[in-house]
Amino acid sequence: MSKGYNTSADILTRTRDGQDLNDIWRQYNEALALFNAQRQPLIDLLSYTVTQPIDDVVQPGQEDFEEATEFGVPTGIRPAPQPIARAFPFKFYDTAARYTFQFLAGGPSQTAGASTAQLDAIQNQVMEADNNLQFKLVMKALFNNANRSTMIDNAQYVVTALYNADGSYIPPFQGNTFDGTTHTHYLATGSAQAHIFDPGDFQTAATHLEHHGYTRANGYQILFLMNATDANATIAQFTRGVTFGGVNSVYDFIPSAGQNLVFQLPPGFTLVGSGIPPNQFGGLDVSGTWGQYMVMTHGNIPAGYFVAVATRGGSTNTNIVGIREHANPAFRGLVLFPGNRQNYPLIDSYYVRGLGTAVGPRGAAAVMFNAAAYAVPAQYAWSA
């Protein structure tokens, strides 16, 4: 019966070497807070909240003027919008906190029960697990290139990934048309390269967003998200007019002020544009800029991958991944329920989170993989 329960034997005041356990619990809580602080800004930049199971995205048709005749009457415009049902899955996830009465009140060999710091550590561990759950579901929705299915009101719906050559209709933009059977935003360098990525790889990824309308002129900032090792070995080395990996770079990489690097312009050159990039954007560290694109590093982006993503800021409804929550506000967020046992000698409580993730605007991100063909990173596969 004791499995999973915090018992009186778990109540400690000092370690064997004399350290105060309350100090250790405080350090533990600080470490958990650091994990959350690192993940949450990335969740916010990539996601938005959805409360309905089906999001109908309407694609308007295109109409043209006709040449006028002296006596003729022009044809009337008859809009025929085609709503596209975008489905968002939903599941409940749960965990439990269990205590014995003596853990809370103190056992035969303890003068007092568990300290507030120890109880806070259990609560914070639950919150860290909740944050990690959200993060993994957002990243899985982004990195997986296969569509899924979900049941909503006893009907099966397709849960789409980024554009993935599945034959879906892709609306044209400013003269750009797309073949839904071949157009994909899951890209590959073509072969595993020793230099990882070249300037052409980054430009290709950015273009995949821009030709769908995700541009600065339309209010979007395109970010390149990658791990620091890949960034330092590739884009941080790019110089305008100099080839890297056999491809000419059209921009200089400009390090952010927080990089503590000496940035010296050649004689006769001046820095144009917005100047030195900021240290942070949306709560995440900025490595620098390459042209109009901001480069951001994060340890949870797998090696050998980078993501180009368009954003208008944290948690805005134009972000790439929708996080569906329950339609009833009472069941949104992390919800605490009393457990089956609420009396002496065992006390239970259950934590429940209901959510699901799916790509919303399918053209607002692209993923590049350094290989002959795209493959889902193992840590973000749906089976993981």
Residue range 337-358, pLDDT digits in tens: 876 665 555 567 788 899 999 9
Mean pLDDT, residues 62-71: 64
Highest-confidence segment of 84-88, 214-218, 280-284: 214-218
Mean pLDDT, residues 190-201: 87
Specify if 14 maps to a domain.
Answer: no
Specify if 75 maps to a domain.
Answer: no
Specify if 347 maps to a domain.
Answer: yes
The answer to whether 51 and 327 have CB atoms below 8 angstroms apart is yes
pLDDT surpassing 70 at residue 368? yes
Q: Whole domain around residue 201: which residue ranges?
A: 20-58+83-380
Specify if 267 maps to a domain.
Answer: yes
Mean pLDDT, residues 240-268: 77
Specify if 4 maps to a domain.
Answer: no
Considering only 84-93, 133-142, 240-249, which range has the smallest mean pLDDT?
84-93
Specify if 301 maps to a domain.
Answer: yes
Q: State the total domains in the chain.
A: 1
Specify if 249 maps to a domain.
Answer: yes
What pTM was computed for the model?
0.79
Specify if 9 maps to a domain.
Answer: no
